[in-house]
Amino acid sequence: MLEFEQRFATEEACFEYLFELRWPEGFRCSRCGHREAWARKRGIYRCTRCRFETHVTAGTIFQDTRKPLRLWFRAIWHLTSQKYGANALGLQRVLDLGSYRTAWMWLHKLRRAMVRPGRNRLSGTVQVDEIYMGGEKPGKRGRGAAGKALVVVMVEVKEGKIGRIRLRRVPDASGPSLEGAVKDGVEPGSTVQTDGWEGYGRLPELGYVHEVVRKESALGKNLLPKVNRVVALLKRWLLGTYQGGIHLSHLNYYLDEYTFRFNRRTSRSRGKLFYRLVEQAVAIGPVPGHDIRGRSASL
């Protein structure tokens, strides 16, 4: 923590950190492509050829923020240094933010940075099963799920152990929905283990080796073992960090945060997680507030 405070004691230090992440091979003008710039004050760089001025936060999730970057960095540090994540109230307290709303918005923005576009898909042997989130009892598949969220859980199995995971919300347990989730999350050619649900029947046609490892197909119970383990941990995390108080319309982002943390659970260094999150915050574009408030947008 002390090391962190020293490293990012000033706004300039934060700007420089972003500069390195944004232009690892040196400045590049976003208008003319020129490689030289004058550093002006407060994170602004002016192209020496066309004079175009770029702020180092432009096109990142920090764009147009009125708060100091130091505060953002502290938020990211807080978020990545907590083993089980952070909720808005905790963040508000730690940063001494005047508004709960700001803390809540920041967490949502940062959560979006926890997914990397074009990230690698799972490969090798992958167990796939679905669960309902929202405390509902297990039921028949294929029916509508009003007030419930169906989540496809994909778990890599490596030498009998759990590798990386992917979590993906789907509208229903139909073939097209499940196939979409698997195509998104698993590399073709991989071995996909499922139960006997017919929704997975077309996987071989999509280039997967399909193994039915359990005949029965009642939804939400008798999960495949690795999936079951991941679901238990996920539920515990949601309860512990958010007291279960999450809105289903935001579920995708919580699933992303969980995936981000889970897939990096063995990296000992918190600093690395911090670096990764700032890097991705730079890589994804700005997240306008109305994007977050617009609930249907996240579905």
Residues that bind Zn ion (CB under 5 A): 29, 31-32, 34, 47, 49-50, 52
Instruction: Considering the complex, state which of residue 33 and residue 189 has its C-beta at the smaller distance from Zn ion.
Output: 33
Say if CB 134 and CB 160 are below 8 A apart. no
> Residue 56: how many CB atoms within 10 A of its CB?
26
When the beta carbons of 49 and 55 are compared against Zn ion, the nearer one is 49
CB nearer to Zn ion: give 29 or 223.
Answer: 29
What sign does the dihedral 74-239-151-265 (CA atoms) show?
A: positive
Q: For residue 54, which phi and psi values (nearest 5 degrees)?
A: -120, 135
User: Among residues 102, 116, 92, 111, which one has the least CA distance to residue 298?
Assistant: 111
Are the CB atoms for 57 and 18 separated by under 8 Å?
Answer: yes
- CB of residue 49 to Zn ion, shortest distance in Å: 5
CB of 18 to Zn ion, least distance (A): 19
The two tokens of residue 21 are: 């992440």
Which residue, 48 or 99, has its beta carbon nearer to Zn ion?
A: 48
Residue 60 beta carbon to Zn ion: minimum distance, rounded to whole angstroms: 19
Cβ neighbors of 42 (< 8 A, separation 6 or more) are: 11, 15
Pick between residue 28 and residue 116 the one whose CB is nearest to Zn ion.
Answer: 28
| Token couple for 140 | 């028949």
Q: How far is the CB of 38 from Zn ion (least distance, A)?
A: 11
**Residue 214 and residue 224 in contact, taking contact as beta carbons nearer than 8 Å:** yes
Residues 132-152 as b or e (16 or more Cβ within 10 Å = b)? bbeeeeeeebeeebeebbbbb
Name which of 28 and 250 has its Cβ closer to Zn ion.
Answer: 28
CB of 16 to Zn ion, least distance (A): 21
Residue number with CB closer to Zn ion (50 or 239) = 50
Q: 186 has which bridge partners?
A: 122
Q: How far is the CB of 36 from Zn ion (least distance, A)?
A: 9
Residue 18 vs 47, nearer CB to Zn ion:
47
133 strand-pairing partners: 149
CB of 41 to Zn ion, least distance (A): 19
DSSP string, 233-273: HHHHHHHHHHTT---GGGHHHHHHHHHHHHTTTT---HHHH
Least separation in angstroms between CB 263 and Zn ion: 38
